[in-house]
Amino acid sequence: MPDRERLDGWCERGIAGLVLAILVLSPLAFGAVKTLGLLIIWWLTLAALALWTARVWVAKAPRLLWTPACWFVLAFVAYAWVRLPEASVEYPAREEGIKIALYGLLFFVVLNNLYRQEITQAVVYVILGLAAALSFYAIYQFVTDSPRVWTAFKPAMFAHRGSATYICPNHFAGFLEIPLALGVAFTLSSRLKDSSRVLVGYATLVAAVGIGVTVSRGAWISAGLALSVMFIWFSRKPQFRIPALVSMALLGIGAVYALQNAQLIERRFTQMVTAGTPDDISSRKLIWKAAVQMWQTHPWKGLGPAQFDPQFVQFRPVELQWRPANVHNDYLNALTDYGIIGAALIALFVLAMTFGLVKTWKYVDRAANDLAAKASNRSAFVMGSAIGFLSLLLHSVIDFNFYIPANAVLAVVMAAILSSHLRFATDRYWVSVRRAGKVFLTGVSLAALCWLGFQAKQRTMEYAWLRAARSARTNEARLGAYQEAFKVDSKNAETAYAIGEMLRLIAGEELGDHKAKVGQAVEWFLKGIRLNPFDTHNYIRLGMSLHMSGQKGEESGKYFRKAVEIDPNNHFLVAHLGWHYYDGGDFERAKGYFERSLEIKSWDNRIASYYLSSTKRLLESNKSVK
């Protein structure tokens, strides 16, 4: 074998290995919602891009596969980056832009390197094996009522539910939807050997149970509807009719049995329509209403990448005293952040994928074109991935699966492989890459590698210092680590706030003159406000710092009032405004704000409860003195 062909093969296998590593490691790292998981995706994607660049020069006659969907991927990535400078809070916008760039690069890398049948089949096996392994872990959590995810603990709201290596069971259920559909399709209609078919069927069954123990209502409904579409399609073909009908019957029997015998599941479905419960669907409706109001402020272009979370405080309903982080509806979230233009680009991508699917199907469906009516791995993959996407798209109406990096990466990889099947319908989407094309692609690739590589290095260093700060045992050590992290990236408002808070706490611990530390804390809180004007914690802590320096009047009061002005329906902020007047001796005004805080949230509101009682006693004492 010539050396160039051998090198090309190594590059191809290297890219496949890196993509498989991303698919496996990102779910294991809590769904890659934390920084470490994102960095794994980040570095491995850059490594895959570097190998593809090398392959362009190593291959004897390199070609570029450019399907219609590619235009909309490129357009959305470009649009997201054009919108970055207009975002009110830079740091989360930049991180969102980097994620979108990585997903776009991964799409093009997979599309042009992982299209061979052997690699596609390996991807399916790895995904199904991973889904089964994680489902076993979720089943263990459900059966033993384990609150742990690795060494971490799940929030109480996710107790008694399986989530495997994810914190949120709903997102793990979203991850399983694509493997479940792929497994069903390969079990029913592929050309696998009997032994392989049994293993695939077993992994599929375990994945189905995995979705069951997440007790995710959205996943149950979306997966059930999507698989029903598949079973109806297969039942139209004589050779698949009986297996499809049997599978559909088993799915229905399993769902009915689970509903009749699991009190937790029954309670979860009841909570969908029971107002006032922590998990009722009305909470999502309140978030959606706030998101619509936010979108209406900038209908065409949106607020900017990742701006829903920081700006939500201005539109918070009284009933929501927690931070939703996302809209819990991927479509509305995209509309809020990217406006009609961005949402239209996403819709066009979905339409392009649908067009490719329709055009491809008749060329890969051997049952429709082969006189022998043989099964086909290609048609099984196309059917399974398409139904998996349908399930995920339905689920995303009430959740934010595409904002979970591990789920987004799985969707991107499957979309790219699915799009590559369009080559079976026509050769028109193959583009020969000559010397000028190689130079151009290499230039683009090197630019992406250099800039994203620099950003990845910076984020890795920042992550190391932030982790050191969290594990430090003293406030002084934490302060030093946070300051080093801010030197690495001076746009992170949360780090600026942490530095200010450490200085404030250290000042409170000092017995002597602490004005210098308080003054430094004030400067850092002001810096945090400049970086994120919607983070009300900076205003509150700044006001408290001024109290420590003896400024309990108008100077500190304006910051407490500004916090409440930004987030007027936050019980915590209203209570602190009351504390400001209490500490300044204005008990009558303090009483009103404590009462208002308790009107917003009457339970688990210790600041307002404690100080209201104290305020009433002081007012009564003052009256008796008079």
In this prediction, residue 256 carries a pLDDT of 67
Count of Cβ atoms closer than 10 Å to residue 246 Cβ: 12
Q: pLDDT digit string (tens) for 408-422? A: 999 999 999 999 999
Dist. CA 53–CA 298, nearest whole Å:
39
SS3 labels along 388-452: HHHHHHHHCCCCCHHHCHHHHHHHHHHHHHHHHHHHHCCCCCEEECCHHHHHHHHHHHHHHHHHH
In this prediction, residue 621 carries a pLDDT of 81
Q: Is the dihedral angle over the CA atoms 402, 407, 411, 412 positive or is it negative?
A: positive
In this prediction, residue 245 carries a pLDDT of 78
Dist. CA 457–CA 188, nearest whole Å:
46
Q: Which of 357, 389, 403, 426 is nearest to 227 (CA)?
A: 389
Task: Name beta bridge partners: 152.
Answer: 149
Which residues, 6 or more positions from 501, have their beta carbon under 8 angstroms from its beta carbon? Answer: 521, 541
Which residues, 6 or more positions from 364, have their beta carbon under 8 angstroms from its beta carbon? Answer: 376, 378, 379, 382, 421, 424
Q: pLDDT digit string (tens) for 587-604? A: 999 999 999 999 999 999
Provide the total of helices (H) and of strands (E) in the chain, helices listed first.
25, 4
Of 518 and 371, which is predicted with more confidence?
518
In this prediction, residue 280 carries a pLDDT of 57
Q: Which of 282, 293, 299, 288 is nearest to 333 (CA)?
A: 288
> 511 by DSSP, 3-state: which?
coil
Residue whose tokens read 């060329």: 363
In this prediction, residue 620 carries a pLDDT of 85
In this prediction, residue 239 carries a pLDDT of 78
Give 603: exposed, middle or buried? Use CB within 10 Å, 0-12, 13-18, 19+. Answer: exposed
In CATH, the number for domain 475-625 is 1.25.40.10
Mean per-residue pLDDT for 309-328?
A: 94
Lowest mean pLDDT among 71-85, 143-157, 292-306: 143-157
Inform me whether the pLDDT recorded for 14 exceeds 80: yes
Residue pair 465/485 in contact (Cβ under 8 Å)? The answer is yes
Task: Name beta bridge partners: 63.
Answer: 432
- Average pLDDT, whole number, for the chain? 90
> Where residue 366 falls among pLDDT bands split at 50, 70, 90?
low
**pTM attached to this predicted model:** 0.93
Dist. CA 626–CA 624, nearest whole Å:
5
Q: pLDDT digit string (tens) for 217-229? A: 899 999 999 999 9
What are the tokens at 445? Answer: 């690739």
Mean per-residue pLDDT for 255-271?
A: 57
In this prediction, residue 275 carries a pLDDT of 44
> 47 by DSSP, 3-state: which?
helix
Inform me whether the pLDDT recorded for 203 exceeds 50: yes
Q: pLDDT digit string (tens) for 433-485? A: 999 999 999 999 999 999 999 999 999 999 999 999 999 999 999 999 999 99
Which residues, 6 or more positions from 420, have their beta carbon under 8 angstroms from its beta carbon? Answer: 65, 67, 110, 111, 112, 114, 115
In this prediction, residue 316 carries a pLDDT of 95
Q: Strands 152-153 and 148-149: what pairing?
A: antiparallel
In this prediction, residue 372 carries a pLDDT of 44
Give residue limits of the domains in the chain: 3-444, 475-625
> Where residue 242 falls among pLDDT bands split at 50, 70, 90?
confident
In this prediction, residue 476 carries a pLDDT of 92
Mean per-residue pLDDT for 280-290?
A: 87
Q: Is 404 left (phi over 0), alpha (psi -120 to 50) or beta?
A: beta
Q: Which of 314, 339, 335, 311 is nearest to 325 (CA)?
A: 311
Length of the chain: 626
Residue pair 70/111 in contact (Cβ under 8 Å)? The answer is yes
Dist. CA 155–CA 157, nearest whole Å:
5
What are the tokens at 231? Answer: 């079973």
In this prediction, residue 367 carries a pLDDT of 47
What H or E segment, with its residue span, contains residue 148?
strand 148-149
Dist. CA 335–CA 291, nearest whole Å:
9
Return the C-alpha torsion angle 393, 395, 397, 401, nearest 10: -80
Return the C-alpha torsion angle 442, 448, 451, 453, nearest 10: -90
